[in-house]
Amino acid sequence: MPSLPEQYLAQANALLARAWTVNMSVIAQLAPILGASVARGEVIHTFGSGHSEIIAREIVGRAGGLVCITSINDPTAGFIENLVGYGTKLVERYDRQFELRAGEAVIVISNSGKNAAPIEVALHAKKKGCVVIALTSLSMSTTATTVHPGGKNLHAIADFTLDNGGVPGDTILQLTPEIATGPTSTFIGASLLNWLVLATMEWLKQNGHALPVLRSQNLPGAIEHNRAVGAPYRHRLSKQLA
C-alpha cells in the first residue's frame, strides 16, 4: 500500500489538475479585467482570514510578480473572524488608509466561504464598486451554513469564483477512522492565484502595457529596480518594499 505522502502526492496532484481544468475559463475572463485595472495604475487587493491569510500573502511582494498587489491584513490572524461586524471595521480602516477604488479587484479567500470576516470584506468591496473574486471550496461554500446574518456565503456575493476543489474539512486522507489529514487548500489556492497573475501579466504584455514586475532582492540591482517600479504605488501598498 502506498505511504501517506505517496497517497497525498497522487490525490493532491489530481485535485490540482482538476482545479486547472475547472478554473481556466474564469481566469481567462479575469485576465483582461485585472490587466486593464493594472494598466490604469490601480492595485489588486487580497484578503484571507485565518490560514487563508497565507494564500492572500502569496502574491504580495512576490519576486516575479506584480508590484501592485496589496493585502488587507488581519492582526488577529482570524481569531475573531466570526465576530459579526469585525470584518467591516477591518476593511473600512484599510479603505481609509490604502483606498479601495471602483473597478479594482479584491480577491477574498475563505476555504469554507461561511465566515463573517471575509464575507464582510467582500460586501464592503462590492459597495465600493470593486470587482470581487472569491477563492473558496465550492463543495463547502455551497453547503456550509453561513454565520453572517446576511444569510449568504462568499461565493454567492462574489462577481467571480475560483474553486480550489477541496473537500469539506480540507482533508483528503483518512489516517484513522476518526482522524482525517492531508490539507490541500493552501497549495492549490496559491497555484490558482499565481495562474491568475501570470494570465494578467500575459494580457498586459500582449496589449503593449508596462509590466510592473518585481525582481528577487537577492539579485544585483533588484532593490533599486523594485523601488522604481513600486514608486507609483508606495502610498497604497500595505507591505512596503525594501
Query: Is residue 110 a contact partner of residue 134, using CB atoms and an 8 Å limit?
Result: yes
Give the pLDDT confidence score for residue 19 in this predicted structure.
98
Could you give the CA distance from residue 143 to residue 82 in angstroms, rounded to a whole number? 18
User: How wide is the angle at C-alpha 97 spanned by C-alphas 81 and 121, nearest 5°?
Assistant: 30
Please give the span between the terminal C-alpha atoms of the chain, in angstroms, as a whole number.
49
Give the pLDDT confidence score for residue 23 in this predicted structure.
98
Please give the full DSSP string across 99-112, using - where no structure is assigned: ---TT-EEEEE-SS
Closest CA to 144 of 115, 181, 120: 115
Give the pLDDT confidence score for residue 4 in this predicted structure.
95
Can you list the domains of the chain with their CATH numbers? 4-233 (3.40.50.10490)
Could you give the CA distance from residue 94 to residue 213 in angstroms, rounded to a whole number? 24
User: Does residue 220 sit in helix, strand or coil?
Assistant: coil
Query: Is residue 172 a contact partner of residue 41, using CB atoms and an 8 Å limit?
Result: no
Give the pLDDT confidence score for residue 234 in this predicted structure.
85
Measured N-to-C along each axis, helices 86-98 and 116-127 cross at an angle, to the nearest 10 degrees, of 40
Give the pLDDT confidence score for residue 240 in this predicted structure.
82
Query: pLDDT tens per residue, the chain (242 residues)?
Result: 899 999 999 999 999 999 999 999 999 999 999 999 999 999 999 999 899 999 999 999 999 999 999 999 999 999 999 999 999 999 999 999 999 999 999 999 999 999 999 999 999 999 999 999 999 999 999 998 998 989 899 999 999 999 999 999 999 999 999 999 999 999 999 999 999 999 999 999 999 999 999 999 999 999 999 999 999 998 999 988 87
Q: With DSSP H G I counted as helix, E B as strand and the rest as coil, what are the percentages for the chain, rounded to 5?
A: 45, 10, 45
